């Protein structure tokens, strides 16, 4: 089979597949970056959204958009619906497993390697599961060398993706990581497709639904979900903003706790404070509020009376 069978529409399908892969990976990196500044349920939610973006759009949609260009001459292709949908679920789940393994392992190198191996193996499984979902009036076989190469690329790409989700910060670094991930995922797909061989074509019409009836609606639906994720990510605070907010709330709570830990003033302490304050304002001694001798500096009322009114 000629290599041109993979590009029935020219460069449209590979370029579109690459752009969709980059879009899914970019959204996924944005979600995982926010998970680094989140805790509890919020972290789980951001990692799950990242898995949907990377596994759903970055990998699965890329795969089937690229498959739109796979139109071998004289071969009718149909798709098994349950197996196709299952492959989408596998892509999302295996990416999620890798993200959570990396998170549980403290984002250290061993956890990245384990998570990358599991995710890469799962991505390769998704690829060949999607190929198995194709019903056709020909026999499909694979070149073992290309299969091994595609699996290795998938594992390396998955490990690199986990490293990016942990260390990449900033717009420029995210763009570079997105392009690298898009090239890796797309390269893995076409490496595997180079090993496909078809033989023994017949005139029989295979079971299943056509490409237009299944893939176009599914790809559009997942793309809409990705656009919604783009809106959510765009409207949500960035990782640095979330960290700044968390630090402010922590300082505010610490200040409140410090205020609450101070002992309540007693009646004697309050009275003494009032006396001291009155003395500062009037120059009176701390005997404020007591009876006895007149306050120094205050004239005797009897001495201010006219002589005729003074008692003799």
Range picked from 33-37, 99-103, 169-173 for highest mean pLDDT:
99-103
Instruction: Answer for the pair 67, 14: CB distance below 8 angstroms, yes or no.
Output: no
- Lowest-confidence pick of 167-176, 239-248, 285-294: 285-294
pLDDT band at 266 (very low <50, low <70, confident <90, very high): low
- Lowest-confidence pick of 63-67, 202-206, 304-308: 304-308
pLDDT band at 81 (very low <50, low <70, confident <90, very high): confident
- pLDDT at position 201 is 66
> Which is more confident, 84 or 300?
84
Q: What is the mean pLDDT of residues 58-80?
A: 85
pLDDT value at 47 more than 80: yes
Alpha helices (runs of H) in the chain, residue ranges in sequence order: 12-35, 40-51, 62-67, 81-104, 109-132, 144-167, 171-194, 211-235, 239-261, 267-282
> Which is more confident, 30 or 268?
30
Encode pLDDT of 212-229 as tens digits. Answer: 777 778 777 877 887 888
> Which is more confident, 108 or 2?
108
pLDDT value at 270 more than 70: no
Encode pLDDT of 110-159 as tens digits. Answer: 888 888 898 888 889 889 998 888 888 888 888 889 999 999 999 998 88
Separation of alpha carbons 151 and 86, rounded Å: 19
Instruction: Answer for the pair 97, 169: CB distance below 8 angstroms, yes or no.
Output: no
pLDDT value at 276 more than 70: no
- Lowest-confidence pick of 33-47, 87-101, 121-135, 261-275: 261-275
pLDDT value at 288 more than 60: no
- pLDDT at position 310 is 47
pLDDT value at 299 more than 70: no
- pLDDT at position 171 is 77
Q: What is the mean pLDDT of residues 170-199?
A: 86
The maximal CA–CA distance of the chain, rounded, in angstroms, is: 144
- Lowest-confidence pick of 58-67, 121-130, 269-278: 269-278
Cβ–Cβ contacts within 10 Å for residue 60, how many? 29
Q: What is the mean pLDDT of residues 241-262?
A: 72
């Amino acid at each position: 089979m000629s290599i041109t069978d993979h590009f029935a529409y020219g460069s449209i399908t590979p370029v579109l597949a690459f752009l969709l892969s980059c879009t899914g990976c970019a959204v996924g990196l944005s979600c995982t970056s926010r998970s680094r500044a989140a805790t509890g349920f919020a972290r789980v939610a951001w990692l799950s959204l990242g898995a949907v973006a990377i596994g759903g759009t970055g990998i699965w949609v890329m795969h089937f958009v690229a498959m739109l260009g796979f139109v071998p001459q004289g071969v009718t292709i149909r798709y098994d619906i349950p197996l196709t949908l299952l492959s989408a679920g596998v892509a999302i789940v295996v990416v999620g497993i890798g993200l959570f393994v990396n998170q549980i392992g403290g984002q250290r190198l061993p956890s990245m390697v384990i998570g990358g191996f599991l995710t890469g193996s799962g991505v390769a499984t998704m690829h060949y599961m999607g190929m198995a979902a194709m019903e056709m009036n020909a026999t499909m076989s694979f070149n073992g060398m290309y299969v091994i190469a595609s699996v290795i690329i998938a594992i390396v790409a998955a490990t690199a993706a986990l490293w990016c989700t942990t260390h990449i910060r900033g717009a420029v670094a995210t763009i570079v990581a997105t392009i690298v991930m898009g090239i890796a995922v797309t390269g893995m797909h076409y490496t595997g497709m180079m090993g496909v061989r078809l033989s023994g074509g017949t005139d029989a019409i295979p079971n299943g639904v056509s490409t237009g009836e299944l893939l176009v609606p599914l790809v559009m639906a997942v793309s809409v979900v990705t656009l919604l994720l783009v809106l959510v990510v765009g409207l949500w605070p960035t990782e640095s903003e979330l960290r700044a907010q968390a630090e402010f709330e922590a300082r505010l709570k610490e200040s409140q706790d410090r205020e609450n830990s101070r002992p309540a003033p007693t009646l004697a302490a309050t009275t003494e404070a009032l006396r001291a304050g009155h003395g500062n304002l009037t120059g009176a001694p701390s005997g404020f509020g007591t009876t006895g001798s007149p306050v120094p500096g205050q004239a005797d009322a009897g001495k201010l009376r006219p002589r005729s009114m003074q008692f003799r």
